[in-house]
A and B are shown apart, each in its own frame.
Chain A
């Protein structure tokens, strides 16, 4: 499959770009005495010529070893990812699930009641969800749910209660997009001949919508899932920061600032692989959903 060359190209580009950025992993506000700087560089093989370091890194990749963190001494990138990824996946997965469920439902309802009060109400909320950024929605939710209503704990990981606000915050813009896409798709489908034929045959309205129309109307939403998964990944960084969740986001951002090359590269490659897999899944789902599309 073409996934492997893609990953290899991304890895090489990322490796070179990180080295090209000014400043290195061993820079600090307090200048290091030269002997100490030399020793640190030697420990992480930064005293070797660049192509040696590149080959060393690539050899590690082949064995699925992302190397040691340059800043979090004593911890390997594999370990960091292993511990943090489940939290990010849970957050992202739940958010996507919520967005799909709420988006499909509200988009369908809006389409069915087209131009009615419900339709306008749903679309208005959708517009708000798209326009208001996560770093406003999050703290707003905190103010309301934690301090005003005293319903939820403010941050961190604990039980399901700790997930409510982060998931809602992250899901908000996607719910909105999906609702709009769903509504547009549904409107499009409901005017198709085969729907009229089904109605003429006497099929109940609910069945018309949920069995026949939905499967086709949902295609734009499925197409959206590819880029959506990318945005969920990046959006989760902000949400994790607001709610202090122990996901990958904070490591990724910090590693960029700290020039922790191995962590930054490792997480970037992980995201790359996840995106590739997710897009593959979407492609397969597409084929399953629309009988008009079949590969090969």
Chain B
């Protein structure tokens, strides 16, 4: 055999021997697809939902969320007292332990929150979740150097006292968020950057991190030290980091995964999938909208913004592009927001749109400048923009261009306000209208429209310190009216409906959840699966 052939044989043999290694382990009780590799498992550093799913499985904060997110349940804190004025929270910790057996104390929370806020730690993107605490923002920006001036104290081993900047009715949701979860000091000091690796990590949640093979899987096992272990039904959970939508779908259909969400469901199959029993939907606190750059002509004129909004038939978009899964939106805050009803938004009205545009100086669209819709490269964004482009042509006689940019470029362009109209979206951090509405205060980091309304700002500030919940919701209604009815720096398009594929006869504990969260703690297997494929 010639030289090349010999080399080829050698390569094949070498590769097969490496590929052959991979012991056949028993399959996990429950396997789900997470959409991507997790970037980190350090709760202080994480930013994404895939990371959050793992964090809430292996760690637990002062409070924890119920399976429907409707209730806040005790976590590490068994009870709490809130002062009359709403500024001070006193958490009473239960007797529970880390996975290395040592007891969890209030000092662990003190250390963890300090670490998250400490400028020297760096990379703690969500540290702003702690800015509700008095002095936290100042410490993080370096204006205060002494952490004891920040409003959190470990009164004793089992008591944590927190002082807020203002009464924050949703603070108990914030304490369940991953950024505020406790981490163990000596574990981090011993292992440094590698502290989250299996074998090093010390955690306190319902599950332990058994294995973390990047791009292959994460395996979690039930934590025998967890205080509520009797209520945890799953023993072994596998998390698959499948990125490709089609592959994720194939994996689910082939029976290799038990649960997948829209990240693994090709849209063109929706009509077929809709009729299946394993197709589940629920509305979430997620709104898709367009931003107008109000500092740029012609969007300085409110009438132009309103006209463009009135000329878009949101229902048509949802029906045509999303097979009537999502819900058309005329306001910013989704209807599934608990205890809150938005003011009525502006319905589709092409006649009124044309009239307003004429009043603004562009009758029949004549003389309207050439503007563009900015979006990041993704099929759905393009389809929506194309549909809206057509509607504006039909109803207003104006022509807009489509400006499709790659993700990083798009972010950069948008934050520099170098656009006319830009697609946006927002998912709630906690179930309170504030999470949506405080985006648009003057110079708010997530405003990105250049819009400023002193009245709006004062309403949001007022809601921030209002103790009566009923009054607070009224204030939010008034603010939202300014945002989506009177001044319209944004154009709401649809509210997201989440899709999950899973066998409801076999898997229990998954409920409609507006925060799109299905804590592993509550999931259980109802019966053994009927074998679909003989190999796993």
A-side residues, CB < 8 A to B, are 21-24, 27-36, 38-40, 42-44, 68, 71-75, 80, 83-84, 86, 89-90, 93-94, 96-98, 100-101, 104, 139, 142, 146-147, 150, 153-163, 214-215, 218, 221-222, 241-247, 250-251, 257-259, 285, 288-289
Q: Is the CB of B244 within 8 A of A40?
A: no
Question: Which residues of A lie under 8 Å from residue B409 when comparing CB positions?
Answer: 21-23
Question: Contact mask B195-206 → A, CB, 8 Å, 1/0?
Answer: 110000000000
A39, A154, A222: which has the most chain B beta carbons within 10 Å?
A: A39
Q: Which of A23, A27, A39 touches B119 (beta carbons < 8 Å)?
A: A39
Q: Is the CB of A288 within 8 A of B250?
A: no
Known: A90-B18, A163-B19, A222-B4. A154 touches B446 (CB 8 A): no
Question: Which residues of B lie under 8 Å from residue A32 when comparing CB positions?
Answer: 125, 128, 445
Q: Is the CB of B408 within 8 A of A257?
A: yes
Q: CA separation between A146 and B37, bound complex, in Å?
A: 25
Q: Is B5's CB within 8 Å of the partner chain A?
A: yes
Question: Which residues of A lie under 8 Å from residue B123 when comparing CB positions?
Answer: 39-40, 43, 73
Question: Which residues of A lie under 8 Å from residue B407 when comparing CB positions?
Answer: 23, 257-258
Question: Which residues of B lie under 8 Å from residue A42 when comparing CB positions?
Answer: 119, 122
Question: Which residues of A lie under 8 Å from residue B242 when comparing CB positions?
Answer: 155, 244
Q: Is the CB of A94 within 8 A of B408?
A: no
A-B contact pairs, 11 of them (CB 8 A): A30-B446, A38-B141, A39-B121, A72-B37, A74-B194, A94-B11, A100-B5, A147-B253, A154-B254, A159-B20, A159-B22
Tell me the count of chain B residues lying within 8 A, CB to CB, of chain A. 73
Question: Which residues of B lie under 8 Å from residue A288 when comparing CB positions?
Answer: 3
Q: CA separation between A296 and B47, bound complex, in Å?
A: 59
Known: A28-B411, A222-B4. A97 touches B40 (CB 8 A): no
Q: Is the CB of B411 within 8 A of A150?
A: no
Question: Contact mask B30-70 → A, CB, 8 Å, 1/0?
Answer: 00000001011010010100000000000000000000000
Q: Is the CB of B125 within 8 A of A244?
A: no
Q: Is the CB of A100 within 8 A of B8?
A: yes
Extra A-B contacts (12), CB below 8 Å, given A40-B122, A73-B39, A289-B3: A27-B412, A35-B142, A38-B141, A43-B122, A72-B40, A75-B193, A100-B4, A104-B5, A153-B536, A157-B216, A244-B240, A257-B406
Question: Which residues of B lie under 8 Å from residue A244 when comparing CB positions?
Answer: 240, 242-244, 247-248, 251
Question: Which residues of B lie under 8 Å from residue A89 when comparing CB positions?
Answer: 15
Q: CA separation between A163 and B19, bound complex, in Å?
A: 8
Q: Is the CB of B193 within 8 A of A74?
A: yes
A73, A90, A242: which has the most chain B beta carbons within 10 Å?
A: A73
B14, B122, B215, B250: which has the most chain A beta carbons within 10 Å?
A: B215
Chain A's nearest CB lies how many Å from the CB of B526? 25
With CB as the reference atom, state the residue of chain B lying closest to A215.
B2
Question: Which residues of B lie under 8 Å from residue A157 when comparing CB positions?
Answer: 22, 216
Chain B's nearest CB lies how many Å from the CB of A67? 13
Known: A22-B413, A73-B45, A139-B246. A246 touches B256 (CB 8 A): no
Known: A36-B140, A40-B123, A74-B196. A27 touches B415 (CB 8 A): yes
B7, B123, B415, B533: which has the most chain A beta carbons within 10 Å?
A: B123
Q: Which of A21, A158, A241 touches B408 (beta carbons < 8 Å)?
A: A21
B-side residues, CB < 8 A to A, are 2-5, 7-9, 11-12, 14-16, 18-20, 22, 24, 37, 39-40, 42, 45, 47, 119-125, 127-128, 131, 137, 140-142, 193-196, 213-216, 240, 242-244, 246-248, 250-251, 253-254, 256, 406-413, 415, 425, 445-446, 448, 533, 535-536
Known: A155-B242, A242-B244. A35 touches B445 (CB 8 A): no
Q: Is the CB of B127 within 8 A of A74?
A: no
Q: Is the CB of A74 within 8 A of B22?
A: no
Q: Which of A84, A153, A159, A285 touches B19 (beta carbons < 8 Å)?
A: A159
Q: Which of B19, B119, B412, B413 touches A160 (beta carbons < 8 Å)?
A: B19
Q: Is the CB of A35 within 8 A of B137?
A: yes
Q: Is the CB of A93 within 8 A of B15?
A: yes
Q: Is the CB of A33 within 8 A of B243?
A: no
Question: Which residues of A lie under 8 Å from residue B247 when comparing CB positions?
Answer: 154-155, 241-244
Chain B's nearest CB lies how many Å from the CB of A198? 16
Question: Which residues of B lie under 8 Å from residue A243 when comparing CB positions?
Answer: 247
Q: Is the CB of B45 within 8 A of A36?
A: no
Chain B's nearest CB lies how many Å from the CB of A143? 9
Q: CA separation between A26 and B26, bound complex, in Å?
A: 40
Q: CA separation between A139 and B246, bound complex, in Å?
A: 9
Question: Which residues of A lie under 8 Å from residue B127 when comparing CB positions?
Answer: 33, 36
Q: Is the CB of B124 within 8 A of A97?
A: no
Q: CA separation between A150 and B194, bound complex, in Å?
A: 41
Question: Which residues of A lie under 8 Å from residue B19 when comparing CB positions?
Answer: 90, 94, 159-160, 162-163
Q: Is the CB of A97 within 8 A of B122?
A: no
A74, A101, A154, A250: which has the most chain B beta carbons within 10 Å?
A: A74
Q: Which of B15, B124, B410 touches A94 (beta carbons < 8 Å)?
A: B15
Question: Which residues of B lie under 8 Å from residue A22 when comparing CB positions?
Answer: 408-409, 412-413
Q: Which of A29, A159, A241 touches B411 (beta carbons < 8 Å)?
A: A29
Question: Which residues of A lie under 8 Å from residue B535 when comparing CB positions?
Answer: 153, 161
Question: Which residues of B lie under 8 Å from residue A289 when comparing CB positions?
Answer: 2-4
Q: CA separation between A216 and B248, bound complex, in Å?
A: 47
With CB as the reference atom, state the residue of chain B lying closest to A98.
B12
A40, A71, A80: which has the most chain B beta carbons within 10 Å?
A: A40
Question: Which residues of A lie under 8 Å from residue B15 when comparing CB positions?
Answer: 89-90, 93-94, 97
Question: Which residues of A lie under 8 Å from residue B137 when comparing CB positions?
Answer: 33, 35
